[in-house]
Amino acid sequence: MFRTRVNPSLSSITRNSSRTRTTTTHGQHYQYLQCSKLPTLYFQRSLPRLPIPLLENTCQRFLTATKPLLSATEQAETQSTVESFRQGIGMELHAKLKQHDLDHKHTSYISQPWFDMYLADRAPLPLNYNPLLVMKSDTRKEYQDQVVRATNLVISSLRFWRSLQADLLEPEVYHMNAKKSDNDSYRRWMKVAPKAFATYASYAFKAFPLDMSQYNRLFGTARIPRLGKDELVQSPDSKHILVLRRGHMYAVNVLDSSGYIESPSVILGRLRAVIKLDADREAATVPLGVLTSGQRDQWARTREQFVSNSKNADLLQSEVDAALFCVCLDGEEDGVYDENSQEPLLKHLLAGKATNRWFDKSISLLISADGTTAINFEHSWGDGVAVLRYFNELYKDTLKQPFVSTETAHTPAEGDLANVRPINFEIDDATRSAVQEAYNKNASIVDSLDMNVLKYPHINKPTCKQFGLSPDSFIQLAFQLAYRQAFNGYVGTYESCSTSAFRHGRTETMRPCTTATQAFCEAVLQPERSKPSAGELRAMIDQCSKVHGQLTKEAAMGQGFDRHLFALRHTAQKEGLPVPEIYETEAYRRINNNIISTSTLGSDALLAGSFGPVVRDGFGIGYSIQNDFAGAIVTTYKNQADGKVFIDSLSSAFDKICSVIQQSRSGSSKQ
């Protein structure tokens, strides 16, 4: 998963609007979500290139990061191995990487190897790669109805897409102080800045343009399984979406022959036609979407056999792969959202039975029977910045003033097989058997998944501000303390940080398990008689925050060590050289065995976010600090790691840290 903060604020949304928009369907107001004064890719040319860190800095950062995971003897051995690497083969590989980077100035040194890493992995997409983002619901019943919400989401998605295609979507810019820079004055200044230097002109406003190269893959993109390594295919000129209902697939036209978005009543009518068509059929006995949940080579072999039938090949390519995006309309039997028991629906949306999914699409909108909406996305093509921007814009647009409600008259589409097309494949026994096998394997994996949710009410954004705490460093410290007191140790911990401030940047790893967090955990768990004072413990918390902030800054500026080491090993493999000894060390193994894998998203639109553990005995932790609570959703595999023990320990860790803060404040106020 990923960690990112994006600019669009949702706090200004008008929530009391109860009327749907009336609009001219070919008018600019309907066809485009935004009409930016600055072209969408205005800053792309002037974005700085992702730097390659100095080799000595990478080596030192690696040693520092692995120290909490190693014994003194192991540290000494690692130091020796790293020093040999730095003075020997590491220098040669670093020079080759630098030269390759110079020869490919249009991109970043990590971009292609990172794509290759994703596409070559043979693990199933659900749980291993595809993350889940659940959107907050609309509190107005007339807009929360499943088909109504689906229609509004489809329209807003298309408005986003058309704005992007027309270069009218606002450029993605992170504003340090939105009040001072996210305004017309800033845009006027940017408009007269030479394109070659626009990014640097923006820096003067403390506004940081972000890479948008991934956005063109948001729509019309599919991951195609191939033996050994998958490929991404794009169909940007498509005019239909893929709709799934009870395992059946439908191609639904949403753009007219000229590429304009169809009217709201037409799209509403076509989605209602899908529901009516499906009501007259039994649920799919061979739900092909299950195949996308499988091991990639197995799916590749099945697909190759399946498309040997020319009808299947044509339908799969033209109707499924080429769809702009996927809409999954789930039934009552799939569950609805329950605030007091979130786990069943979250588990279903994250992976579930896979009978009503096509995990290979870049974006899938999942809409439950009660209108609960989520996005499940294929991860190889891009990271959180693009998806979260889309997610936020969708929420804002559908909430601000939606186009249809339960009162909207629709244009009937029953029998309109040109625009609402059931996709009827020819299923043979081999495909039937492959679907059943994939279903059984996925069901076994999903059944082994455990999910635990914590909402901690005593910590939130206002309290963090009041106590002078970094929310992210606070919650990451709590993860370390929770693991230490529950399982008596320290393990490889992963926090993703976006490097999208650079051209073709992807992510860098931030390592939250530090000697500072280790020192605090050991101190706070001491018996009362030997425990440091509250003031001393608070000073240790502040030191943890300082170190965490520095590591985050380094990662965001492309100065971590994980991607550099990854690229150096990739260079060795590409050049046919032996893998250097550093990659065989216990230190490298432990820090990359990410027992604790974490991801957070800063968004007022987000109800929940989740992903699977990245190792069998690990914890996948989606977390956030909201305005009224701190929350975490922890996934584990049963009999591999105990999520319930971790969640209980996390609550205790929050209590301990809060107690230290309160006692230290109380002590300082008495002095």
What was the pLDDT predicted at 18?
43
Q: Select which of 248, 348, 379, 570 is catalytic.
A: 379
State whether residue 134 is helix, strand or coil.
strand
What is the DSSP secondary-structure string of 336-350? ---TT--HHHHHHHH
Bridge partner list, 174:
208
Place of tokens 């076994």: 444
In degrees, rounded to 5, the angle at the alpha carbon of residue 134 between the alpha carbons of residues 296 and 556 is 75
Classify strands 606-610 and 507-510 as parallel, antiparallel or unpaired: unpaired
Alpha carbon 196 to chain centroid, angstroms: 31
- Rounded to two decimals, the pTM is 0.94
What pLDDT sits at residue 8? 40
Residues 395-419 have pLDDT tens digits of 999 999 899 999 999 999 999 999 9
Residue 265 has pLDDT above 70, yes or no: yes
CA torsion angle for 105, 106, 109, 115 (degrees, to 10)?
-160
Q: How far, rounded to the nearest angstrom, does the alpha carbon of residue 202 sit from its chain's CA centroid?
A: 27
Q: Rounded to an integer, what is the distance from CA 372 to the centroid of its chain? A: 18
Residue 220: band (very low, low, confident or very high) from pLDDT cuts 50, 70, 90: very high
Q: Per-residue pLDDT averaged across 318-342, rounded? A: 95
Q: Note whether 165 and 38 are within 8 A (CB).
A: no
pLDDT band at 23 (very low <50, low <70, confident <90, very high): low
Q: What pLDDT does 670 receive? A: 54
Calculate what percentage of the chain has a pLDDT beyond 90.
90
On the question of pLDDT at 22 being above 70, the answer is no
DSSP 130: B
Give the span between the Cα atoms of 416 and 174, in whole angstroms: 45
Least confident of 61-65, 435-439, 602-606: 602-606
Residue 36 above 90 pLDDT?
yes
- Tokens at residue 494, please? 């992963």
- pLDDT digit string (tens) for 616-636? 999 999 999 888 899 999 999
**C-alpha–C-alpha distance, residues 264 and 397, integer Å:** 14
Contact of 329 with 150, CB cutoff 8 Å: yes
Token pair 């404040």: residue: 665
pLDDT band at 668 (very low <50, low <70, confident <90, very high): low
Say if CB 197 and CB 295 are below 8 A apart: no
**Is 220 in contact with 364 (CB distance < 8 Å)?**
no
Look at residues 503, 468, 449 and name the one whose alpha carbon lies nearest to residue 211.
503
Provide mean pLDDT across the span 448-456: 96
pLDDT of residue 467: 87
Active site annotation includes 106: no
Which pLDDT score, from 0 to 100, does residue 601 have? 77
Give the C-alpha separation, 2 to 130, whole Å.
Answer: 12
**What is the pLDDT, as a whole number, of residue 666?**
74
pLDDT exceeding 70 applies to what percent of the chain? 96
> Residue 15 — pLDDT band, cuts 50, 70, 90?
very low
CA distance 596 to 513: 10
| Tens digits of residue pLDDT in 83-139 | 999 999 999 999 999 999 999 999 999 999 999 999 999 999 999 999 999 999 999
Q: How much is the average pLDDT of 157-173? A: 97
Domains in the chain, CATH or no CATH each: 55-107+449-670 (3.30.559.10), 125-170+216-445 (3.30.559.70)
Q: Would the pLDDT of 19 be above 80?
A: no
